[in-house]
Chain A
């Protein structure tokens, strides 16, 4: 089994995700990009787990999926609230923390 193909796939997914997070203004798309990042990590975990013959990689992946679900739940709730307040989900406009 060749590990590097999985790792390259994961790296590609990760970079796509990062690009999405950094460039998208739509809040929902940002969340989706985060999901891509997390799934890239999942691929890494499963790939290394299988490579080493260790079940722990898949267990961690399952944990990450569960946490990601929760994270999306919270994230969507935040997006929804932002929308209610501003009638927009443009994350660039939400700059209340400006010093």
Chain B
């Protein structure tokens, strides 16, 4: 191992050491550091006691710095290639260059032979364990892509082309399985190698940065929030392990590695939801989360297996994507795989109808909810779809269509989750349903072909939802560890100014109001549906656009309700609320700042005049793989001011409506939280609707009472019947038949044969003795005469015969 390492270094030194490629090759350090922290805490945690958080903070911080540096290197590489390329483009009239190999040292290597941008070339790796199969860093094949698909017709001549760097893949051979396939090696059987490695591209770096920032802040925040907990050490160990796992998953080069990371984050989520397992509801919630995820995991496994065979027996993600892009994979296998993987997304990313675990997961400590169940783990499903997007693109027939399963699930979730957030009285549950709704937004975006919009929403959502959850934690810290907005809160804006301000900013971002981050990402999703006239996206998903707009209005509505009940009106609790300490408020401020600023990473090109041309759509340029032979050329809708205005007006209108509703209530009764003579008490239909929402669409009842209850009764009866009539019959038959056999054996074989043989030998010996004793006279002379007679006889025989 060390030999190959030095080999890598020697090679790097020979062709002038490049810090960026060193960063790309050693990105494995980022998940390795929190993993090391987990092991250290596990081994020595008890000794650190109350200082154990420093270990977690230090390692996650180091990982964050490393990821930021790598992201910086990626961006600078991208930007330097743009200037380089644009100079060339100005020279000639090249509009669509497929391979920018004009560089002098571009070698005619594997890129031209067509093996190129695929993941790990496993055959090679068996020779060299630490093979660095990076294509084209600086030199070699850069694939150039037309920027927007819609521009193919020739109007795009003026538009800048974007040279997208290829992903950097580093692999280790994890293990190999003997010969695969039939026959000998010469007949085409090969050993199947499983690789583990890191992939560095815009998407993985984006996840690294998001996880790094949120995890770091949560580590800091938790040192106050969880202080004095009886399992403080255990808490930090799992927080570190979780961070390592999600980073490991984000850097996955093979579907197998992805599954391992996926399950690891699931386990960490289980452990942290059940952190206070002494109370039954908490351990129930942990179990529910775990079991619900198992349902989706079946889909994940089946989908990955289908992809394995569909891509010609490969676990490698880039190979799978290449097979999907080039059409080597059959349409059927892509459709089946994408539907199976959709199940996995439904469970992990809390989509209808498997979302029910997510609100219950709020039983865990609040920072955990912020990190795992709002910002990072739940986006694993989104990330996975983004990783294998070519499969979904083809399998779901996303381009040029107006409806597909992925988008529909997303849209249903975003509306359904938003509606449920209205009737909750637990602040964390409101935020949980909001998360469900926003995740639905991301899935919707992926479903309509707006890949970048989905990733961008993932990016911005992590910050503002993290901020909201940590804000909720701060509130509960102040209000006697209660999350009930109706009985324990109200009028807190003066008592907790920092929490109020940050919560406000994050809510505005969540509601999607200009100029906060959510505005930009949500606007992009709505544009990406292509349903609005003039937005020229991949398809025309009009119905989904409408559902997206409804969800946008709902988001503003339920957040207004929550904010009014928490921060306005009269204080209804019983303790003296106080602002949280700095350790908790500073992460809030940082996240709030990010909720404002990150939106500008991807504002449309035609906004703000010249600024848009220059600084717009940076996120898209940096993160989207865009073309190449492992990603489709996907279209991006044209931003539309009217659509942005409509969405904003809907949000504002809904917020104003909710606000006036509660303001009128306040005027009636200062401490009331609901109307006594409201619509629900007057109209039967409204009351039924309210109950329907309060019962969470009866999904839990369907699951536990109808499905589980309906199955377990008959199943138990059937099992009993089988037990009595089949299993017991088998056992009884075995018993009776063995006694019969025993009896038979005793009577005939033991008594007859064996004892007979023994007795026979005895009696025959005694009988022969009886006969022979006559010879034994005891008279010596008789013996002697016999002897002499016999001797004479023998002598005679000798003489006569011989």
Contacts and interface: CB of A to CB of B under 8 A. Distances in A.
Interface stretch (A1-9, A44-52, A58-66, A89-97): A89-97
A91 B780 contact: yes
Interface in A1-28: 18, 21-23
Nearest to B777: A98
Contact of A94 (B780, B784, B785, B788): B780
A53 interface: no
Contacts of B785: 22
B614 interface: no
Contacts of A94: 778, 780
A78 to B, nearest CB: 11
Interface stretch (B223-231, B255-263, B326-334, B767-775): B767-775
Interface string A73-99: 000000000000000000110111111
Interface in B336-394: none
Interface in B634-652: none
Given A18-B788, A22-B785, A99 B774 contact: yes
B788 A22 contact: yes
Nearest to A34: B784
B776 A99 contact: yes
B781 A95 contact: no
Contacts of B105: none
B781 A92 contact: yes
Interface residues of B, number: 14
B779 interface: yes
Contacts of A99: 769, 772-778
B778 A22 contact: no
B778 A95 contact: yes
Contacts of A21: 781, 784
A91 B781 CA distance: 8
Nearest to B779: A95
Contacts of A92: 779, 781
Contacts of A23: 781
A35 B773 CA distance: 31
B784 A98 contact: no
Contacts of A96: 778
Contacts of A22: 781, 784-785, 788
Contacts of B769: 99
A91 B782 CA distance: 11
Contacts of A18: 788
Nearest to B792: A18
B778 A98 contact: yes
A97 to B, nearest CB: 4
A91 B788 CA distance: 18
Nearest to A37: B788
A45 B785 CA distance: 24
Contact of A97 (B774, B776, B781, B784): B776
A95 B736 CA distance: 63
Interface in B749-773: 769, 772-773
A94 B783 CA distance: 13
Interface in B469-516: none
Nearest to B774: A99
B788 A97 contact: no
A21 B778 CA distance: 16
Given A95-B779, A98-B779, 12 more contacts: A21-B781, A21-B784, A22-B781, A23-B781, A91-B781, A92-B779, A95-B777, A96-B778, A98-B777, A99-B772, A99-B777, A99-B778
Interface of B: 769, 772-781, 784-785, 788
18 contacts: A18-B788, A21-B784, A22-B784, A22-B788, A91-B780, A92-B781, A94-B778, A95-B777, A95-B778, A96-B778, A97-B776, A98-B777, A98-B778, A99-B769, A99-B772, A99-B775, A99-B777, A99-B778
